[in-house]
Amino acid sequence: MNENTIKSFEKIIEMQLKRIENMKSQADFIDYSTLPTLIIGVLGGDGIGPAITKESHRVLETLLADKVKAGKIEFRVIDGLTIENRAAAGKAIPDDVLAEIKECHVLLKGPTTTPRAGDPWPNIESANVAMRKELDLFANMRPVKVPSQGIDWMFFRENTEGGYAVGSLGVNVTDDLAIDFTIATTQGSERIAELAFDYANRMGRTRVTAVTKANVIKTTDGKFLNICKEVAKKYPDISFDDWYIDIMTAKLVDEKRRRDFQVMVLPNLYGDILTDEAAEFQGGVGTAGSANIGKRYAMFEAIHGSAPRMVAEGRDKYADPCSMLRASVMLLEHIGEVELAKKLERALDICMYEEKKVVITGRDTGATCAEFADYVMSKIQ
């Protein structure tokens, strides 16, 4: 083995050991109830982001009006996360924008454009990836709900380890041999498992399922699974089981079995794949919100992109705000406003699946995102 290969291995190991020490030194999760004022930052992003984020912001301010008036909650609109501003700064998140972000506790974030080959923008890093790193947002939460099919799932995808942890640091040992890496740490696995079980406990869920391939990837997936089993012992009222990722993708299609699943906790790569499959049952990624949770910060967003074509065609005002409104449900749950979250979620279910009196088509044949948000607010009781 040549010296460069050995150095590459050493660099990865040293980087991960340093990350473990950082995790060990972190404080516990922030308790929002102890804050004199909870600051919610609102970042419109770009493309259709500003249009759909504006409506979610409006709905949240309406629901939280009493606490805003009392000074318990403050909304701050943060501009500057547009692709134009990021390209001009040559950074995924400009320094001044990042400083404003770090003054907040919770973020409501619209989609952002990530440049690709052929785009008129410099090759800057994804704003989402950069934010997860900067704020250590280690847990990606994605809900999927289809009441008519008995589907009510919450996925907890580990955000910082697994097959994506060092995705750009693979090694070409020789012309014939390429090696990539998957990472699992005790601390990283514990905190995602704890978050999943704590959520299930708070929200009255009765089952948590770990999804791995521990029968084949024995060391890293085995560690993840074993730690989930240990955390499960702290929650005797919640049943725990585990499935392998390949059969789990099939069981989500099984109309009888899929109704049994409630909360799922997964390493990074499996979570990415399974949540996109799951979102299709709900109507696709355009209908799904997500959360990125850390111990100090939390970010709530749509899981789809910025749809620049809609903006170019003047259709951004007809964009579907459901993904951001679903993310707003998660934001309310996260800050302890569970009853308000339930009211907003119920209103969305009525508007999206039951009455469907106001329909979004993405064009002038349907409602604007503002008209749909008005419809949702009219159903909040």
**Amino acid identity of 60?**
L
At 11, list the tokens: 């660099």
Domain-wise residue ranges, the chain: 31-137+294-381, 144-282
Helices then strands (H, E): number in the chain?
Answer: 14, 12
Pairing of strands 178-179, 171-172: antiparallel
The pLDDT, as a whole number, for residue 293 is: 94
What pLDDT is attached to residue 8?
84
Burial 34-59 (b: 16+ CB within 10 A, else e): eeeebebbbbbbbbbbbbbbbbbbeb
pLDDT value at position 288? 73
pLDDT at residue 353, as a whole number: 84
Specify whether domain 144-282 bears CATH 3.40.50.2300.
no
Q: What is the pTM of this model?
A: 0.83
What is the per-residue pLDDT for 21?
93
Show the tokens assigned to 318. 């007809």
**Partners of 211 in the beta sheet?**
243
The pLDDT assigned to 118 comes to 67
Residues 241-277, buried b or exposed e (16+ Cβ, 10 A)?
Answer: ebbbbeebbeebeeeeebeebbbbbbbbbbbbbbbee
d(CA 71, CA 79): 22
Burial annotation 8-31 (CB, 10 A radius, 16+ → b, else e): bbeebeeebeebeeebeeeeeebe
Q: Residue 125 burial by CB count (10 A; 0-12/13-18/19+): exposed, middle or buried?
A: middle
Is 31-137+294-381's fold the same as 144-282's?
yes
Computed from CA positions of residues 20, 154, 182, 219, in that sequence, does the dihedral angle turn out positive or negative? positive
Give me the residues of the chain with pLDDT under 70, please. 1, 117-118, 168, 285-287
**What is the C-alpha to C-alpha distance for residues 213 and 243, in angstroms, rounded to an integer?**
8
Q: What is the model's pLDDT at position 139?
A: 95
Q: What is the pLDDT of residue 174?
A: 87
| CA separation for the pair 375, 11 (Å, rounded) | 54
Amino acid identity at 176: D
Most distant CA pair in the chain, distance: 67
Domain 31-137+294-381 fold is Isopropylmalate Dehydrogenase (3.40.718)
